[in-house]
Structure 1
Amino acid sequence: MKTRRIGPFEVSAIGLGCMNLSHAYGTPPSRAEAAAVLNGALDNGVTLFDTAALYGFGANEELVGEVLAMHRERIVLTSKCGMQGVDGVRVIDGRPDTIRVSVDASLKRLRTDVIDVLYLHRLDAKVPVEDSVGAMAELVRAGKVRALGLSEVSATTLRRAHAVHPITALQSEYSLWTRNPELGALQACRELGVAFVAFSPLARGFLGGELRDVNALAPKDIRRAMPRFSPQHYAANLKLLDAFQDEAHQLRCAPATLALAWLLHQGEDIVPIPGTSQAAHLWELLAAPQLTLDGATLARLDALINQRTVSGARYNEATQAEIDTEEF
């Protein structure tokens, strides 16, 4: 496995996003299946594992802690605060006191004394980012956290936070079909020396090529509330997927491998964290660093799937109101 850097940490070029082992995309896999994914990733060179207090309302951190605690010295462990489940409801809360309590609970669930990178999961519109990051910086000084990150924030917010305490990583959605980081966040990261961690690099499963019928999504699958996955918009997007799969076929690789390889070619400072609920799919993800794309292929992919050709908004209006990133 090739490596890249996130601040002081050398990590696998492909990390593992652990969310869908407990949360968001319909019925999670069984405990045994989830453990097989985590162990399979570890055995094949993955050293970066990403979770959050929100995922499964704590269940994902418990899973990651249970399976990977014995391998703690081999991995870079990241989690998130500032958005969690309260009485069964998702709540954004970036108040300093809430962050302190949340991180103590995360450490217990993760079975560790320290989180390598702690992200502010969402900017709380009612709390200045300086206050939230200030509380997180206290946790660094207390030895509970090694480095700080932000998730889904704009370049302006990143700069404000960085002035309070050095930010090691910015995590946001980035893929062929979500180009928002190109509006300013990537440039700000490079100016400040901040790594960019790309979540949903497979476009929430779209670029994996297997999701053909959105009507088959589970009732509580979060994609049902995303405009791009509505039947009308998805029918249009499937036309892009057909052409994308043709490109992968020409390169004799899986569509997921091609999607991640495109992302890796966007800069050495970018680390994708795809997720999967099936250990059998790990090879598609982990093959990406070995796939070299020439300029002509990159140009065709850029022209095929981008903010102008994708049908539908990234989020619905209610969710978009909670997001601080730049928007087209």
Structure 2
Amino acid sequence: MDKNKPNAGSNANEHPGVARRDFLINSALAGAMLTVASPAWAASSDQPQATKSTPQAGQAQMKTRKLGTLEVSEMGAGCMSISANYGPAASTAQGIETIRAAHEKGVTFFDTAEVYGPYTSEELVGAALAPIRDQVKIATKFGFAIDGTAGLNSRPERIKQVAEASLKRLKTDRDLFYQHRVDPNVPIEDVAGAIRELIQEGKVLHFGLSEPSAGTIRRAHAIQPVTAVQTEYSVMERSPERNGVLAACEELGIGFVPWGPMGMGYLTGKIDASTRFDPKTDLRSTFDRFSPENLAANMPFVALLKQFGEKKGATPSQIALAWLLAQKSFIVPIPGTRNIDHLNENLGALRVELTPDDLRAFGTALAALTVHGGRMNEMQMGLVDQTT
């Protein structure tokens, strides 16, 4: 994730007959109630040209991991923060340049959602990846009512409408489609059934869930196999380890995609108690964990990352990402940024080797720390699935 001051910088199964279509709905922070004014991501003459996906000199060769049966780069790219929710939108040219630079460095998995902007993130991702569509996998999401109403809407007819609109914005017929938030008013079996129909029609290849409970994962998976689950997970936010979500993914062969892998930018070490977030453009301004007192109280987490970083010649961001990658082989983090220097820093985590001894020592130190403040505000947490 990339936050520019004053928002703080961060580093921050193929279906028969469907020609390599992939569209995975991921992630990240649900900005449903925040509409950020952004420029249209239309193609223009100042956009950088597509580049070949080859590692640069000195760069670690990008490996792949499996999300269910979907093979992607071991680290993906979250695209939300380029155009919404973590400060003012970046320019079209900057957004496209960053996304294409990520691909040039080996990233093949890009995450967006209808609600980011709304719409502008999908438009940006579609424009940036159109020339290299066959080389990448795109994840997007449905589930918010952004048609003049508020709240959630995962009625089957709405899901199909969103799929058609998202395909146009993304300039593709390939899908990995996440439910962004579980809708308590629509049985998950109906949601999974609607996705199954889209898969049968060749419009979607893979089904994902964002912020579901373990029980919801199991019920959905029984109707339509779930390819990936997306939930906040980081050194500071380890609830998937305790609530059964990570265990359910491992048991069922489902990939896990952590959003907020660097604590929404906090774990980069570029945020401190003096950092302020613009309430007009940055959702973190309403999150208790980002209050001045909690920004100060949680500094031991950053200090721990710095301590291990000094031993490994790595930054706090790189240690945070390397720790996540070391947890399970089916985990694919999606750090987001609009800054190529931060992109390079994030990808540098792939060169960081944490030995079993390192991980044990880190885990012992981590267990002694206490997280101060909830991860999102009351409204946002009210949308997180808590069913059994």
For the aligned pair, the TM-score class normalised by the smaller chain equals over 0.9
Cα distance in 1 for residues equivalent to 2:308 and 2:209: 34
> Is there any run of 5+ residues in structure 1 with no aligned partner, and where?
none
Residue 212 of structure 2 corresponds to residue 129 of structure 1: no
Matched residue type, 1:193: G
Secondary structure, counterpart of 1:4 in structure 2: strand
CA distance in 1, matches of 2:183, 2:165: 20
Q: Could you tell me which amino acid in structure 1 is paired with residue 211 of structure 2?
A: E
Summarize deviations over 1:165-184 as a string: whole Å, max 9, x none.
11111111111111111120
- Residue of structure 2 equivalent to 1:156: 215
Instruction: Please give the alpha-carbon distance, in whole angstroms, between the structure 2 residues aligned to 1:307 and 1:276.
Output: 30
- TM-score (norm. length: structure 1): 0.94
Counterpart of 1:92? Answer: 152
- Cα drift, residue 276 of structure 1: 0.8
2:278 match? 218
Residue of structure 2 equivalent to 1:261: 322
What residue is the counterpart of 1:29 in the other structure?
90
Give the alignment partner of residue 307 of structure 2, picking from 246, 254, 264: 246
Q: 1:114 to 1:307 in 2, by over 3 A?
A: farther
Q: Does structure 1 conserve the Cα–Cα contact (< 8 Å) formed by 2:125 and 2:170? A: yes
Alpha carbons of 1:154 and 1:214: their partners in 2 closer, same or farther (altered >3 Å)?
A: farther
Question: Once the two structures are superposed, what CA deviation does each residue of 1:247-272 show, in whole Å capped at 9, x if it has no partner?
Answer: 21221112111111000000101110
Q: Distance in 1 between matches of 2:109 and 2:150?
A: 26
Question: What CA distance in whole angstroms lies between the structure 2 residues aligned with 1:307 and 1:96?
Answer: 46
Residue correspondence of structure 1 range 1-328 to structure 2 within 5 A: 1-87=62-148, 91-115=151-175, 117-183=176-242, 184-213=244-273, 215-220=275-280, 221-305=282-366, 309-325=370-386
Corresponding letter in the other structure for 1:86: D
Offset, 1:225: 1.3
Aligned residue type for 2:163: V
- Residues 96, 127 of structure 2: 8 Å contact kept: no
Structure 1 letter corresponding to 2:297: A
Distance 1:253 1:308 in 2: 21
Deviation per residue, 1:121-142 (Å, 9 max, x gap): 1001111111111111111111
CA distance in 2, matches of 1:326, 1:288: 35
What do the CA deviations read for 1:62-121 (whole angstroms, capped 9, x no partner)? 00001101111000111111125333x653111111111011000000001121x11011
1 or 2 for the larger relative contact order (CA 8 Å, sep ≥6)? 2
Taking only the aligned residue pairs, the percentage that are identical comes to 42
Distance 1:222 1:299 in 2: 34
Between Structure 1 and Structure 2, which shows a larger proportion of helix residues? Answer: 1
Q: Classify 1:175/1:11 alpha carbon distance in 2 versus 1 (closer, same or farther; 3 Å).
A: same
1:210-257 CA-to-partner distances (Å, cap 9, x unmatched) read 112454222231111111111111110123312321221221112111
Secondary structure of residue in 1 paired with 2:230: strand
Q: Deviations over 1:178-208 (max 9, x none)?
A: 1111120111111111111111111100111
Q: CA deviation at 1:296?
A: 3.2
TM-score by length of 2: 0.80
Q: What SS does structure 2 have at the residue aligned with 1:119? A: strand
How far residue 309 of structure 1 moved from its aligned partner, in angstroms, is 1.1
**Matched residue SS, 2:208:** strand
CA distance in 1, matches of 2:328, 2:96: 31
Distance 1:49 1:314 in 2: 24
* SS of match in other structure, 2:300: helix
* Structure 2: segments with no counterpart, 5+ residues: 1-61
Does structure 2 conserve the Cα–Cα contact (< 8 Å) formed by 1:80 and 1:121? Answer: yes
Report the number of matched residues: 325
User: Secondary structure in 2 aligned to 1:72?
Assistant: helix
- SS of 2:262 mapped into structure 1: coil
C-alpha contact (below 8 Å) 1:214/1:230 kept by paired residues:
no
Given residue 171 of structure 1, which amino acid in structure 2 is its aligned partner? Q
Root-mean-square deviation (CA, aligned residues, Å) is: 1.8
Contact conserved, 1:257 with 1:284, CA < 8 A, in 2?
Answer: yes
Shift of 1:305: 4.0
Contact 1:177/1:306 (8 A) holds in 2: no
Distance 2:263 2:358 in 1: 19
SS at match of 1:145: coil
Residues 94, 124 of structure 1: 8 Å contact kept: yes
Alpha-carbon distance in 2 for matches of 1:160, 1:33: 41
